Chain A
Amino acid sequence: MLKHTPLYDQHVAAHGKLVDFAGWEMPIHYGSQMQEHHAVRQAAGMFDVSHMGVCDISGPDATAFLRYVLANDVARLKSFGRAIYTCMLNDEGGIIDDLIVYAISSTQFRIVLNASRRDVDLAWLSEQAVNFDVSVLEQPTYAIIAVQGPQAIKSFVSLLEDNAQQAQVTALKPFQFVTVDDLQVARTGYTGEDGLEIILPASQAPVIWQQLCDAGVKPCGLGARDTLRLEAGLNLYGVDMDETTTPDVANLAWTVSLHDPQRHFIGKQAVLAQREVGVPQTMVGLVMAARGVLRNHQAVYSHGQPVGEITSGSFSPTLSMAIAFVRLPADFQGELSIERRGGFQPVQRVTLPFVRQGQSKFKPVSVEGVSDE
């Protein structure tokens, strides 16, 4: 029996094509994932991401605890009311999950976990919390709505009747959040567009969803969510990284904070040891100018020999071309191609992101011995 979020009835009413996602019945689209993708880049779209786990970490040792279990450093936040993106590592430096932490106060934090990792994360956090004066409490009665796109914030603010609340939300800087009545409103997202992620009581979700609909925000499914995040250069747990990969091979070295040499966190030694020996792989962007779609797990070749593998592969509706992330040997420089219908098709290594705020952003990475076409 698949689980339903508080917005299930809304998805059914909007003719969502429902699929099993991590044991939840979720809409992959409501008619056209391409149109939903474009709506987010051009105006505003919204996603029900209530299947993701919400967990509150509170107590006198909350800060110390999170500085121990997370690879990024919550102590680096300049003030409260800010969120931070981080990996949670195991002793081998492998990524247990990537997550967002909202710092409410020094003794109160909220974290959002990937749906597929909820149970693993909660078990791990509870286990690690044993020696800290902290409580790890799942919050199953919340819904999460992500409103994304250039018109997203304006559309949400139009729902607020109180001028002071409107001003608070309008004033949010990226990665800041504020509480408006029972809603935690954060200027965060997974699409490369401006927007908000709203954590709210499940009972209020259907009303807010409908109000956003009425304000012109388009319901968008998980299919569009995936093409949007890939264009934005953002990783997907389980595809781009997992417990066997360190942050450095998953393009997430920047999320590991070594700023405070006194801070010990789980996985620190393993990450440093790998850097000492030499990180063996890198993860980079790939585009294909020729017709076709790049696919997860597709082999990538150089001069006919396999040299790497695509992690996330798909099609960019904004750029109208295939895009992917590929894991390659760390210092690899050669030309790249994929196999398609019995032959080899060249692919181009590029910087990330592919798209940001509706604009193409990638640049080719020049390769030794290959002239520009």
Chain B
Amino acid sequence: MSECPADLKYTSSHEWIRVDGDEATIGITAHAQSQLGDLVFVELPLLGDEVLSGKEVAVVESVKTAADVYTPLTGQVIAINESLTATPEAVNEDPYGEGWLFKVKMQNPSELDDTMTADAYADQNSD
């Protein structure tokens, strides 16, 4: 049973969002990294990319499989976690902290209304 930090928002495609003003940090959840297994490669968007909510912007690849990561928010990519090139396992070891993927300057903060709370995300995953 993975823990979902209560201060974050979540998507049904297993991304988490940490909001700070009009900036959002995005990563994948503990549940997602557990399903994928040890990551060996992370492909991130480019700094400055304009991204559209719902579009695939990153790829996380494990020994088992590759998975697309979607941005829940429209805006510009203002930061990417370049340390993941050398240490992709940070996503497995600290998915909500050191394993963050990229930051978006939000163009439409109202898109956050479509995201889930920690409880709703946990409910979605319990089976």
Residues of A contacting B89 with CB < 8 Å? 32, 34
Supply 27 A–B pairs (Cβ within 8 Å), ascending by A: A28-B37, A29-B38, A32-B89, A32-B92, A33-B37, A33-B38, A33-B63, A34-B38, A34-B40, A34-B63, A34-B89, A223-B37, A223-B63, A223-B64, A227-B63, A291-B41, A291-B43, A292-B41, A292-B61, A293-B40, A293-B41, A293-B61, A293-B62, A293-B63, A293-B66, A314-B63, A317-B40
A142 part of interface (Cβ distance < 8 Å): no
- Whole-angstrom CA separation of A28 from B61 in the bound complex: 17
Q: Which of B96-113 contact A (CB under 8 A)?
A: none
Residues of B contacting A315 with CB < 8 Å? 40, 63
Residues of A contacting B40 with CB < 8 Å? 34, 293, 315, 317
Q: Are A32 and B41 in contact (CB under 8 A)?
A: no
List the A residue with the shortest CB-CB distance to B43.
A291
- Number of interchain pairs (Cβ within 8 Å): 32
Q: Are B37 and A29 in contact (CB under 8 A)?
A: yes
- Whole-angstrom CA separation of A330 from B92 in the bound complex: 42
B40-55 near A? 1/0 per residue, CB < 8 Å: 1101000000000000
* Contact residues on B (Cβ < 8 Å of other chain), bracket: 10 to 19
A8-32 near B? 1/0 per residue, CB < 8 Å: 0000000001000000000011001
A313 to chain B, nearest CB (A): 10
Residues of A contacting B61 with CB < 8 Å? 292-293
Residues of B contacting A314 with CB < 8 Å? 63
B118 to chain A, nearest CB (A): 23
Q: Which of B78-102 contact A (CB under 8 A)?
A: 89, 92
- Whole-angstrom CA separation of A293 from B38 in the bound complex: 12
Residues of B contacting A33 with CB < 8 Å? 37-38, 63
Residues of B contacting A317 with CB < 8 Å? 40
- Whole-angstrom CA separation of A28 from B64 in the bound complex: 11
B45 to chain A, nearest CB (A): 14
- Whole-angstrom CA separation of A223 from B40 in the bound complex: 14
Residues of B contacting A293 with CB < 8 Å? 40-41, 61-63, 66
B2 to chain A, nearest CB (A): 12
**Listed residue (B40, B43, B62, B92) with the most chain A CB atoms within 10 angstroms of its CB:** B40
- Whole-angstrom CA separation of A17 from B89 in the bound complex: 17
